Structure 1
């Protein structure tokens, strides 16, 4: 029974301890204020104590995304959802909410508390030594194959967070949508649809499936 629910147990514990080991100096009180940041790409969500590296350049297939999520929050890029911070379009980022406690990587529970995020909450993105601030506009739960839900026809710079729900399962995906509010979104640049990670087509699944548990590996679950 313990092995069957270890994702839920460890995910719940991690959600109330250190899902991102946040540095208080990274929090901006005024979301409209510009800030000097380092060169490392990072995502900061003060409400749920997330401060984690972001991995760009991974292909959109499940294996590549899973490898990227071992190293932090993975940027997911397909046609119609290939923006990066500061670009018009949808920038999609996926991370584990509750992976197997014994799986490789240090970021098994980064998005464990995403279900607590609501309209108006703030997300910070450090990208190319610049900070971008986003405000959450809505959330939605979808099936893993509903890729069109992140392929948004928008003229705004946006981002979407992707995580598995319910906690401890990979049955569905929670999407958290946010719009850039700083720097001035009207100055966002256009999105390039070229690049290997954007040539995967529309057959991709929304990422987030956790690795098999030890029990599943042993018995083929």
Structure 2
């Protein structure tokens, strides 16, 4: 029995190191796993930190570019159309043709006025959610300045309701972006011009893109027509977007 007992004790002695070895391996595996996870977390933090830095730098660069472009266009007095001397001469000739349509009569308050007597004070385009004030913008030396934050009416063209081609312009990408979405207008879209005592609804007939030197869209018409002019493409402005519309209805307000 002693030998047997000794043998049993010897068996227990052999099993103990095996269990200890297994525990050590488990502990080592756990430590390796923790170290690996910590390294992975550290690496991910570094990656996200680097991506964040890149995005901040890229955003700052883009913002700087936009501000510089805005400053350059503002400081140089961006005009639409951008005419050369020859183009300005042609524009002056066209402006002279329109001069006969200019209205100088002062309307009588609280009385319906004849079509064309009053200038537009507001433009509404339901399709694109546009509702903006209109101001008179005369050409200077054949160059027509675009109004800032408003729609500009070329003052040498007819007022709402009068026969002829009335021209309106606005910026598409700076100073209000009033005409940013006029390219979305399609035949049948409404353009409403408000005067102090009247409302005139025009229906879009079509649109086109032309070179800045093309002044044909400003040619006189027999019917009461309006022409919207803006720069295109967005933030490039090398062409002119033209939208045409004809008078459908008018009413006193």
Q: Same fold (TM over 0.5)?
A: yes
Q: Report how far residue 47 of structure 1 moved.
A: 0.8
Q: 1:40 to 1:4 in 2, by over 3 A?
A: same
Q: 1:118 to 1:141 in 2, by over 3 A?
A: same
Q: Does 1:72 align with 2:150?
A: yes
Kindly indicate whether the alpha-carbon contact (under 8 Å) linking 1:134 and 1:178 is maintained by their aligned counterparts in 2: yes
Q: 1:71 to 1:116 in 2, by over 3 A?
A: closer
Aligned to 2:129: 49
Kindly indicate whether the alpha-carbon contact (under 8 Å) linking 2:123 and 2:191 is maintained by their aligned counterparts in 1: yes
Q: Report how far residue 183 of structure 1 moved.
A: 2.2
Q: 1:92 aligns with which of 163, 167, 178?
A: 167
SS in 2 for 1:97: coil
Q: Report how far residue 84 of structure 1 moved.
A: 1.4
Q: Report how far residue 158 of structure 1 moved.
A: 0.4
1:139-154 matched pairs, under 5 angstroms: 139-152=207-220, 154=221
Q: 1:58 to 1:164 in 2, by over 3 A?
A: same
Quick check: which has more Rg, 1 or 2?
Answer: 2
Q: Report how far residue 57 of structure 1 moved.
A: 4.6
User: Where does the alignment leave 5 or more consecutive residues of structure 2 unmatched?
Assistant: 1-60, 70-118
Aligned to 1:175: 242
TM-score, length basis structure 2: 0.50
Alpha-carbon distance in 1 for matches of 2:66, 2:207: 26
SS in 1 for 2:131: strand
Greater per-residue helix proportion: 2
TM-score, length basis structure 1: 0.57
Aligned to 1:111: 179
Higher relative contact order (CA 8 A, sep 6+): 1
Structure 1 stretches of 4+ with a deviation exceeding 2 A read 3-8, 57-64
Q: 1:117 to 1:40 in 2, by over 3 A?
A: closer
Q: 1:62 to 1:164 in 2, by over 3 A?
A: farther
Alpha-carbon distance in 2 for matches of 1:147, 1:111: 19
Alpha-carbon distance in 2 for matches of 1:7, 1:41: 33
When the two chains are superposed, the root-mean-square deviation of aligned CA atoms in Å is 2.6
Number of residues of Structure 1 aligned to a counterpart in Structure 2: 141
* 1:160-190 deviation line (CA, Å, top 9, x unaligned): 1111110112201100000000129xxxxxx
